[in-house]
């Protein structure tokens, strides 16, 4: 069966899913996106992801030509057309076709794209052994320039950091903000555990309000962890008892080395293991059913 992609209201074959070179998503990175996961025939935290998509659209003054309900229906339709129960879903809404100038007023029709595909995870050994990461020179965009809470098509800031991680021979980069506080990673939120407290940077530091970040903050009190949104520095990373990242693609992934310093004893921590377990339980039991309705 050939993969079907949703493009502007139609389900088209993967090979025919083409967008104009005049699309401002391509010319200027003018647009927004979401990454969502489905587990066991259920879309996990569907409303939260769709809400964030519409909030990103509002922030960049992009009118999505579908209601939230219609967008959810379009996602379900795409999943069904591809007979998927476990999937990574990518929604992309760009400003649409315009002229060569950057003025969005010249783009009458946004482009709406939904790709649902088999999941791509970090290799399983990283969940068992943990990741090595580095802090990088490229600072996270300041919220006053391009707010990291907007999931925009402008990922060049993160890509520069990713290049620095690649060159250091590791998979992920920790980005600091302009004041030196830890913000987030190129595609994940970051958490540390210190003395029984679970700490993640507040989003105003320069981090996306990650949906998986919220899930972890919800379940952590079950383990007796006190949950805090607090600014912290590179030094706090080095002396953390445990560290892990969260994201739709990564789920919850332990970090065992930062800038050549071992975190804790250099293996994934006990709380991190328990959080991975609690996350997986939730992901496999909750969510919006793809096939049971209508
Ligand atoms: N930060 C950035 C920069 C991201 O791209 C992502 C992935 N969407 C995240 C954090 C994690 O967010 P979520 O848990 O909603 O996937």
From atom 12 of ligand 1, which residue's Cα is the shortest distance away? 210
86 pLDDT above the threshold of 60: yes
From atom 2 of ligand 1, which residue's Cα is the shortest distance away? 187
Closest atom of ligand 1 relative to the 189 alpha carbon: 10
Q: Are 74 and 82 in contact (CB under 8 A)?
A: no
CA–CA separation, 143 vs 262, rounded Å?
Answer: 31
Identify the residues whose C-beta falls under 6 Å from ligand 1.
Answer: 35, 158, 184, 187-189, 208, 210-213, 246-248
- Find where tokens 């088209």 sit: 12
Residues 134, 273 within the same domain: yes
Tell whether 172 is covered by a domain.
Answer: yes
Give the CATH number, domain containing residue 28: 3.30.470.10
For residue 245, the CA-to-ligand 1 centroid distance in Å is 10
Domain boundary, last residue among 98, 117, 136: 117
Closest atom of ligand 1 relative to the 249 alpha carbon: 16
For 20-65, the pLDDT digits (tens) are: 999 999 999 999 999 999 999 999 999 999 999 999 999 999 999 9
Closest atom of ligand 1 relative to the 184 alpha carbon: 1
Residues 145, 276 within the same domain: yes
Residue 155's CB is within 10 A of a number of other CB atoms, namely 15
For 268-291, the pLDDT digits (tens) are: 999 999 999 999 999 999 999 999
Residues 93, 161 within the same domain: no
For residue 213, the CA-to-ligand 1 centroid distance in Å is 8
From atom 7 of ligand 1, which residue's Cα is the shortest distance away? 187
Domain count, the chain: 2
Alpha helix positions (H), the chain: 24-28, 46-59, 68-81, 124-129, 156-167, 211-219, 234-238, 270-285
Q: Which tokens belong to 201?
A: 């940077």
Domain boundary, last residue among 53, 83, 117: 117
Domain boundary, last residue among 117, 141, 176: 117
Tell whether 289 is covered by a domain.
Answer: no
Residues 81, 150 within the same domain: no
Residues 162, 268 within the same domain: yes
Residues 105, 196 within the same domain: no
Residues 94, 155 within the same domain: no
For residue 191, the model assigns a pLDDT of 98
Residues 138, 279 within the same domain: yes
Closest atom of ligand 1 relative to the 207 alpha carbon: 1
CA–CA separation, 76 vs 36, rounded Å?
Answer: 12
Tell whether 113 is covered by a domain.
Answer: yes
Tell whether 199 is covered by a domain.
Answer: yes
Residues 228, 162 within the same domain: yes
pLDDT (mean) for 256-268? 97
Q: Find residue 134's DSSP bridge partners.
A: 173
Residues 9, 85 within the same domain: yes
Tell whether 293 is covered by a domain.
Answer: no
Model's pTM, two decimal places?
0.96
Residues 147, 229 within the same domain: yes
Tell whether 239 is covered by a domain.
Answer: yes
List the catalytic residues. 151
219 pLDDT above the threshold of 60: yes
Residues 176, 220 within the same domain: yes
For residue 187, the CA-to-ligand 1 centroid distance in Å is 5
294 pLDDT above the threshold of 60: no
SS3 90: strand
Q: Are 71 and 53 in contact (CB under 8 A)?
A: yes
Domain that holds residue 184: 124-283
* ipTM given for this complex: 0.99
Name the pLDDT band for 126 (thresholds 50, 70, 90).
Answer: confident
Give the CATH number, domain containing residue 212: 3.20.10.10
| Least confident interval from 103-112, 150-159, 170-179, 285-294 | 285-294
- Find where tokens 């990564």 sit: 250
pLDDT (mean) for 107-127? 90
CA pseudo-torsion sign 102, 105, 109, 112 = positive
For residue 101, the CA-to-ligand 1 centroid distance in Å is 30
Quick one: which H or E segment has residue 32? strand 31-39
For residue 87, the model assigns a pLDDT of 96
């Amino acid at each position: 069966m050939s993969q079907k992609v949703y493009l502007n209201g139609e389900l088209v074959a993967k090979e025919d899913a083409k967008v104009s070179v005049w699309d401002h998503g391509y010319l200027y990175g003018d647009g927004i996106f979401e990454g969502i996961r489905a587990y066991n025939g259920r879309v996990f935290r569907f409303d939260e992801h769709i809400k964030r998509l519409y909030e990103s659209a509002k922030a960049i003054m992009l009118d999505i030509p579908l209601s939230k309900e219609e967008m959810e229906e379009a996602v379900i339709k795409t999943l069904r057309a591809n007979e998927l129960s476990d999937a990574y879903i990518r929604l992309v809404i760009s400003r649409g076709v315009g002229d060569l100038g950057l003025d969005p007023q010249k783009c009458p029709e946004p482009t709406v794209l939904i790709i649902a595909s088999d999941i791509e995870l970090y290799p399983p050994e990283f969940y068992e052994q943990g990741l090595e990461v580095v802090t990088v020179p490229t600072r996270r965009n300041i919220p006053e320039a391009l707010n990291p809470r907007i999931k925009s098509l402008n990922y060049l800031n993160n890509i520069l950091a990713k290049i620095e991680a690649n060159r250091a021979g590791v998979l992920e980069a920790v980005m600091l903000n302009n004041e030196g506080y830890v913000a987030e990673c190129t595609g994940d939120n970051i958490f540390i555990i210190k003395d029984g407290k679970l700490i993640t940077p507040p989003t105003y530091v320069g981090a996306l309000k990650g949906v998986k970040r919220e899930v972890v903050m919800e379940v952590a009190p079950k383990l007796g962890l006190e949950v805090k949104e607090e600014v912290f520095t590179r030094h706090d990373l080095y002396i953390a008892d445990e560290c892990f990242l969260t994201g739709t693609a990564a789920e919850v992934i332990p970090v065992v080395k930062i800038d050549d310093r071992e975190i804790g004893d250099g293996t994934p921590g006990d709380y991190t293991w328990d959080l991975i377990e609690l996350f997986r339980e939730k992901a496999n039991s909750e969510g919006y059913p793809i096939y049971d309705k209508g």
